Amino acid sequence: MIDEFLENVESTKKLELSLGVLGNDALLKKLKESTINIHTVEIQSTCKVHHVLRKYSLPSCLEVVRINENDLDFEDISALVRSLSSVNYGLHELDLSRSKFRESSTGSFFAFIWRVLINCKDLRILILTNNGLTEHEITCLITTFDSMKNIKILNVSKNNLTETQANDILQKHGQAKSIVSLDLSQNAIQGNRIIIGICQLQSLEELNISRNYIRFFPLPNLEEKCNKFSENTKIISLASNHMTPDDICKFCSLIRSDLLKLDLDFNHVGNSIWSLCSLGLSIKHLKVLSLANTDICGDVVGLANLLSSVGELEELNLSSNNLMANDFRVLQSPLSDLIQLKKLNLSSNPEGISALLQWILPLLKYLEELRLSNTHLNSDDLSNICYSLASLSSLKYLDLSMNAIGSDGLRALANILKEFPLLEGLDISRACIKEDDISILCKGLVPLEKVRYLNMSGNRIDLDVLDDDLFLPPTLEELIFSDIITHGEKLFAKMKQLKNLRKLHLNQLRLRAYSDVEVLAAVLLSFPKLRELSLADITVSDLKCAVRSLGDIKKIDLTGIKLLDERALVDMLSCLLYLEELVLTDMNVANMDCERFFSAVKLLTHLRKLNLGGVKIRDEKAWFDMLSSLLILEEIVFPNVGLMNTDCMTAYFSSLESLRYLKNLDLQCTKIRKPGVEALALVLPSLQLLEKLVLGGINFDDGCQKQLFAALGKLKYLKELDLCYTRITQTGAEALALVLPSLQLLEKLDLGKNDFVDGCKNTLFSALGKLKYLKELNLSCTRITQTAAEALADVLQSLLLLEKLVLGRINFDGGCQKQLFAALGKLKYLKKLDLCYTRITQTGAEALADVLPSLQLLEKLVLGGINFDDGCQKQLFAALGKLKYLKELDLCYTRVTQTGVEALADVLPSLQLLEKLDLGKIDFDDGCQKQLFSALRKLKYLKELDLCYTRITQTGAEALADVLPSLQLLEKLDLGKIDFDDGCQKQLFSALGKLKYLKELHLCYTRITQTGAEALADVLTSLQLLEKLELGEINFGDGCQKQLLAALGKLKYLKGLSLCWTAITQTGAEALAEVLPSLQLLEKLKLHPFKMK
């Protein structure tokens, strides 16, 4: 092993120093004696740097040092300085990605600045990403650039650089002009001044300023000689910069080079696609083009024109653009000409992709990666494109997740897998496939020798029903399973050969108390490289033996775990000293000793993410004492704890001050009284890097609210603020209004319950108007008066980037409604609009009807109580028909007349992408019911249908029975009161049996006769994926009860069963008792005691 290790070091000239290497004295001795020229040294995160350098001295010919994800103190920096002094020719590259500089009296970061960077005069590559630097530390860093004249590649991403700081780097120091590659992504750079500095970098070849807030419109005043980007700049990434078409147009005017890569993901490109086309020769040699989620669905002709100009393209991403069949027909020809494509991502485009793929795939001979997730491919589609797929002999990665490809599609895929000898990754998660299909697929993997990634989560796996053993490629590095309902021993036996496994998910796995845990432990011993383990939603008595071999594990997810012994959890954690992420959401531990548990977590000093949401904690002192030890924590979700001890709150919350790298603080499950709020307010300003804050139930007075909201104003990097469960008084609202304008980066705001007057609401809404990057606004718990609604209408027009709006109860007249809805019409990027609690008058409904067609990107619409006549209903529903990207329509609280239903029936077929439909109380006759249900037949992508408030006649039930078999993707069905006879019940339940993907069936309001119950019993066994079943009032005898309950016993994936309205006899109860043990996944059972005879 030692000789093999040294051979690898010699061939790569790279040495990785880990605990294993440092603990091997023989290996270290040979390393010191060897004459190998080592150019690169990497120190793993599990090692303390000064311990490493005490045992091993850096070689004199060293060029590259990488110390990633480490926790550096003054002693580490001092040791690094001493070791670097022996390097003869000077360091060329220093990479400290995700390493943190621990505060001390001597200051580790400032020691790093003055003793390392200033002495590295030959440094060419500097990578300082996500180091949690303070504003003062960044300023000190900038001063060192005077001494580093040779920097070519600079990466200071994810460090919250402001525009001023970024400009200081680019403009104040002349050496920056030699920079070839610059990465300023994921910072806090706003405005347009940074463009001046970028234009001065005339040697720049690669620029990444993604995930900032940079404005190109209007352009700043540029120097005449530096008024465009460098002619050398060939790679540009601008993803998630909140850019509008005006920004894109101005950006294009700065280009004068031959671009090789352009990334505009998650910007509002829209019709500015034509500006990209105008770049002409500048994009002729483009190799990579990424336009994911860029609202280009309205300008597909422009996109086709652009694709026709980039014939040398090798990577193309058009995901999440709502492209449909007609769009793909326009794109077919230009896509066919991109014969050099190696990567193609068309995921989350909803319709018509199979015809395109059949045409273009045989022409893409070099394609290595194909992503088709969530494109509504069904079994027939996949069977049809398999011949074309088989031509992709260079394919390395294939993603078919979130498509109902079913048995036939999967079998067709399995037959062609042998045509992909280079395949490394396959994702068929949530693909509606079952056990035998999975076995066939795995057989198809047998000839493949390079498969590293396999994701089959979200598919039901019962290993006991497999005819043959499950084959798993021995080359796997990542394996993701879920919903395994049988015992794991059969699976574990096949996993032992996976020696290279680095990531393993076995969620919802059933473990027998001792035997399976022991087998799992033995299997995990086979995975020395494992770094991520998820065992969510399992029940087990002891986990220590299962994880004792995972000393180097970085991530563990035990969401929903049920532990029968508290000591098992403590013993497990004591083995995981290098853990970085621990997720224990909704954990349930019998007789948990909080002090012992938190003492164990306290030792996990490498922890960056801790989630205990929903876990009940009774010892708040032990909790806060633990927090003070987790110094590099970045995300924390507080447990369910009541902070009632008024005397200790200040001391408790002061422990948060040590968490200087914290970015996400979630207190939703935490109840805090006034003293706790005051203590929290004192602490918040010290959490300078906070980006997300969620507050739970808070009980505080006016003065305390002012104090808390004033503290919020100092969190200048805050992007998400959730006050949903917080009751805000008038004084608090006034304080919040003063603070909001200072939260310039806020993208998501959820306001809680408010009790204040109009003037105060006006002030608060006026403050909202200054949040120019706001994308989500939730006012569902806010009661809005007419005056406040008028103020809100004025404000909405300035929130141009808003994508989601939820309004609460509004009391306003017709004129005000017109004003508010007119303002909504200007939110052209709006995708979700929720008016569930808003009462709308006829005038308002007419105004809304006028506005809806302008909301062309709308995907979800929830309407509340509307008081409108027949003519207005026709007008509103006609407007709905123009929302061609609508996926969710909720009319649950809307009372629709017969005329309205007829208008809705006419409109529904045009809503081709509808996946969820919720209808409210409808007053309609037989003919109208037939018309409405007939229209449902055209909604081929419908997954959820809720008719629980809809009274259905026998004629309607017969019409519904005819329609249901055509809704093949239906996963949830909720039926209301139905007046139907025995024959009709048989017909309707027979139709239910054809919904092979149905997961939830609600019949709690449906009266079922004995004949209907017998028909339902016959049908249930065919609903193999059913997870939730609610039965209503059933009038049936003993024999029928036995028949129906016996059928329930075959629903092996059932998790929820409600019989609370069902009168069960003694015979039925005995039958139920026999059935229940076979429902191994059952989590919730409802029985009404008064209905038991």
Q: Among 150, 173, 197, give the residue marking a domain's end.
A: 150
The amino acid at 369 = E
- Half-sphere exposure for 339 (CA within 13 Å, toward CB): 4
Q: How far apart are CA 954 and CA 983, in angstroms?
A: 10
Q: How far apart are CA 979 and CA 957, in angstroms?
A: 8
Q: How far apart are CA 280 and CA 276, in angstroms?
A: 8
Is residue 414 within 8 A of residue 441, CB to CB? The reply is: yes
Q: Specify the DSSP class assigned to residue 692.
A: E
Is residue 574 within 8 A of residue 548, CB to CB? The reply is: no
Number of domains composing the chain: 2
Pairing relation of β-strands 235-237 and 804-807?
unpaired
pLDDT at 512: 59
Q: Among 150, 181, 201, give the residue marking a domain's end.
A: 150
The answer to the question of residue 1056 being in a domain is: yes
Is residue 94 within 8 A of residue 122, CB to CB? The reply is: no
**Cis status of the peptide bond prior to 218, with omega within 30 of 0:** yes
The answer to the question of residue 1032 being in a domain is: yes
Q: How far apart are CA 856 and CA 322, in angstroms?
A: 11
pLDDT at 654: 86
Instruction: From 758, 768, 767, select the one nearest 790 (Cα to Cα).
Output: 758
The answer to the question of residue 124 being in a domain is: yes
The answer to the question of residue 98 being in a domain is: yes
Q: How far apart are CA 196 and CA 193, in angstroms?
A: 6
Q: How far apart are CA 1084 and CA 1067, in angstroms?
A: 22
Alpha carbon dihedral 840, 846, 852, 853, in 10-degree steps, equals 170
Is residue 1064 within 8 A of residue 1088, CB to CB? The reply is: no
Is residue 836 within 8 A of residue 862, CB to CB? The reply is: yes
Q: How far apart are CA 1044 and CA 1050, in angstroms?
A: 10
The total number of residues shown for the chain amounts to: 1093
Summarised one tens digit per residue, pLDDT across range 486-518 is: 666 677 878 888 999 999 998 877 665 566 777
Is residue 205 within 8 A of residue 235, CB to CB? The reply is: yes
Q: How far apart are CA 482 and CA 535, in angstroms?
A: 9
Q: How far apart are CA 156 and CA 127, in angstroms?
A: 6
What's the 3-state SS for 247-289?
A: HHHHHHCCCCCCCCEEECCCCCCHHHHHHHHCCHHHHCCCCEE
Query: Using CB atoms within 10 A of its CB, is residue 281 exposed (0-12), middle (13-18) or buried (19+)?
Result: exposed
Q: How far apart are CA 140 and CA 1019, in angstroms?
A: 72
Range of the domain at 82: 1-150
Is residue 521 within 8 A of residue 495, CB to CB? The reply is: no
The answer to the question of residue 105 being in a domain is: yes
Is residue 245 within 8 A of residue 273, CB to CB? The reply is: no
pLDDT at 930: 93
Query: Using CB atoms within 10 A of its CB, is residue 394 exposed (0-12), middle (13-18) or buried (19+)?
Result: middle
Q: Which residue has the tokens 């101005």?
A: 250
CA angle 727, 728, 733 (to 5 degrees): 165
Q: How far apart are CA 610 and CA 679, in angstroms?
A: 22
pLDDT at 707: 93
The answer to the question of residue 706 being in a domain is: no
Q: How far apart are CA 232 and CA 280, in angstroms?
A: 17
Is residue 15 within 8 A of residue 37, CB to CB? The reply is: no
Answer left, alpha or beta for residue 1013, where phi above 0 means left and psi between -120 and 50 means alpha: alpha
Q: Among 125, 150, 175, give the residue marking a domain's end.
A: 150
Residues 6+ apart with CB under 8 A from 959: 929, 930, 933, 934
The amino acid at 637 = V
Q: Which residue has the tokens 């193999």?
A: 1024
State the DSSP string of 481-527.
EEEEEEETHHHHHHHTT-TT--EEEEEEEE--TTHHHHHHHHHHTT-
CA distances from 761 to 728, 743, 756, 789 (A): 11, 18, 7, 9
Q: How far apart are CA 544 and CA 477, in angstroms?
A: 24
Q: How far apart are CA 225 and CA 734, in angstroms?
A: 49
Q: How far apart are CA 935 and CA 943, in angstroms?
A: 15
State the DSSP string of 602-636.
HT-TT--EEE-TT-B---HHHHHHHHTT-TT--EE
- Half-sphere exposure for 961 (CA within 13 Å, toward CB): 18
State the DSSP string of 59-102.
PTT--EEEE-S-EE-HHHHHHHHHHHTT-SS---EEE-TT-EE-
Map residue 338 onto helix, strand or coil. coil
CATH number for the domain that contains residue 65: 3.80.10.10
**855-874 burial: b if 16+ Cβ within 10 Å, else e:** bbbbbbbbbbebebeeebbb
- In which residue ranges of the chain is pLDDT below 50? 105
The answer to the question of residue 20 being in a domain is: yes
What is the helix, strand, coil percentage profile of the chain, to 5? 40, 15, 45
The answer to the question of residue 1035 being in a domain is: yes
Paired residues of 777 in beta bridges:
749, 805
Residue 511's CB is within 10 A of a number of other CB atoms, namely 22
Enclosing H/E stretch for 778: strand 776-779
pLDDT at 823: 94
Enclosing H/E stretch for 111: helix 108-112
Is residue 137 within 8 A of residue 105, CB to CB? The reply is: no
- Half-sphere exposure for 711 (CA within 13 Å, toward CB): 18
